[in-house]
Chain A
Amino acid sequence: MEDIKKRIRITKFLDYIFAIVGLLSTLVGLALLFTLMTDLFMDGFPRLGYKFFASFPSRFPDEAGILSAWVGSFLVLLVTASAAIPIGVAAGIYLEEYAGKNWLTNIIEINIANLAGVPSIVYGLLALVVFVYFFKFGESILTGGLALALLILPMVIMATREAIRAIPNSIREASYALGATKWQTVQFHIIPYSTGGILTGIIIGLSRAIGETAPIITVGALTFIAFLPSSPFSSEFPFISFKWLFDPFTVMPIQMFNWVSRPQHEFQLNAAAAGIVLMMMTLLMNGFAIYIRYRFRKKIKW
């Protein structure tokens, strides 16, 4: 018995040690995140002012800003969202509600899982050949947006499926029992009840897209752009113009990359400032996604 008691003391001590090691390992990442933010803020915060947002890049670090970059990021994201959301949500609905269990569904599933793991730069190469050279969209906002849409499509599909899967079957049966068709069931029950989950997935996907650099570099976005794309509004009929889709562009992460790569310290401060803006955008989007998930989870309880 004394042996056992001693043994218990040892194992419990090890258990205690591991609890501490485990907590520390979990916190390493968080500590790094915190250090990273602090470092960025210390370097870049003084640069953040109205002028920084309202100026084009420049040879002079003090005058350089991110106007063309944030406008570019916004427009690219607009294209990405308009392409990836409808296709991704539709594909998710098909796979959960319509697809039978057969080889084709199986292939589509394996395929989506695989696409989610394809390195982002490979999407860039695909977009370079297909959009830039084959469809002749050029090195444009349209090309950049579509490249990122390819990238986040698997994420949107998977988020949609997961959200739909959480809806209990009794809901579907209740709808069918009232004589609803499949699409009516989807339209009036499945989509509304899974909106929270789908939105969460979409926002997380878009937040990933906004920080992506590699595929955008591959499709040939310029690193130095001192003008804005054409205005989406025109003075003539029909007053809306899509010419901006075909304009050359740059985005936030590329602007930051460009500044990081320069040897002068002043440009690196600009990089830090751009990094703060970029981080804030992704953190806000992620925070918003968590909030939506939380709210919808509270509202609907199965």
Chain B
Amino acid sequence: MVKELKAEVKKLNFYYGRVQALKEINLPIERRKVSALIGPSGCGKTTFLRCFNRMHDLYPHNRYEGEIILHPDNVNIISPQMDPIEVRMQISMVFQKPNPFPKSIYENVAYGLRVRGVSKREVLDEKVEKSLRGAVLWDEVKDRLNHLAFDLSGGQQQRLCIARALATNPRILLFDEPTSALDPTATLKIEELIVELKNEVTIIIVTHNMQQAARVSDYTAFMYLGEIVEYDKTDRIFTAPSNKLTEEYITGRFG
């Protein structure tokens, strides 16, 4: 199989004001694979993830340097000329804590489409059903689409957020520790879903749970102090890491 790149990170530096949070990051993102970012707390993995959809633009004094090239268009999504809204319309995100909107289940999923100006009922109905099926939530909620999203359990809420993110056919789907607020059963469901989803979309996932990275990802990058220490196929990282720091981390000696 020929490797195909969905995105390429080149010499990325990121600053919160004067503090440099990411240093000289280079990383390929393989198309329709799951890439995991692991590392101890504060290593910059979430900061890195949030560069992909320009979340840092929401807050003042944040600054990017370098490039994240999105293929096949070959555009640098962190260049100042690039509109962050345009980036976010192509790259969706699922957050650490389920964050449904105070709206019905249906409207939560339809939100991204509405933001894009879609208002035809048939189109919305179809997309909502497809996305909810994609997030393996359809059977549980099909009879109560107009119920408030808060009525769902935590795991269901997170799958709803995944459905919301899928509804707009994103090119990349970002997951920021999507199971850290969930119980083991709900976690398992989300993990199975992630493995399922990579057939359709490129996925980047941040996790502090190494077993999770091992279970769901094809590639893993180990980050430490804002740098990528090691990047490789997941089974290699977990069986034969080439860097001593990586080895210490995955064997649980620090982090």
Contacts and interface: CB of A to CB of B under 8 A. Distances in A.
Interface of A: 4-5, 7-8, 10-12
B4 interface: no
10 contacts: A4-B86, A4-B116, A7-B116, A7-B117, A8-B83, A8-B89, A10-B117, A11-B85, A11-B115, A12-B83
A10 B86 CA distance: 13
B54 to A, nearest CB: 13
A277 to B, nearest CB: 43
Contacts of B117: 7, 10
A76 B115 CA distance: 58
Nearest to A5: B86
Interface residues of B, number: 7
Closest 4 interchain pairs by CB? A7-B117, A8-B85, A8-B86, A4-B89
Contacts of B89: 4, 8
Interface string B92-134: 0000000000000000000000011100000000000000000
A5 B89 CA distance: 10
Contacts of A4: 86, 89, 116
A268 B85 CA distance: 57
B85 to A, nearest CB: 5
A4 to B, nearest CB: 6
A4 B89 CA distance: 9
A50 B86 CA distance: 67
Nearest to A7: B117
Nearest to A15: B85
B73 to A, nearest CB: 9
Nearest to A10: B117
A8 B89 CA distance: 10
Contacts of A11: 85, 115
A4 B115 CA distance: 10
Contacts of A12: 83, 85
A18 to B, nearest CB: 15
A7 B116 CA distance: 7
Contacts of A8: 83, 85-86, 89
A10 B116 CA distance: 11
A11 B83 CA distance: 12
A10 B115 CA distance: 11
Nearest to A9: B83
Contacts of A7: 116-117
Nearest to B117: A7
Contacts of B86: 4-5, 8
Interface in B55-103: 83, 85-86, 89
A126 B116 CA distance: 59
Interface in B152-200: none
A5 B87 CA distance: 11
Contacts of B116: 4, 7
A7 B83 CA distance: 13
A8 B85 CA distance: 7
Contacts of B85: 8, 11-12
B89 to A, nearest CB: 6
Given A7-B116, A8-B83, A8-B85, 8 more contacts: A4-B86, A4-B89, A4-B116, A7-B117, A10-B117, A11-B115, A12-B83, A12-B85
A134 to B, nearest CB: 51
B135 to A, nearest CB: 23
B146 to A, nearest CB: 26
A244 B139 CA distance: 80
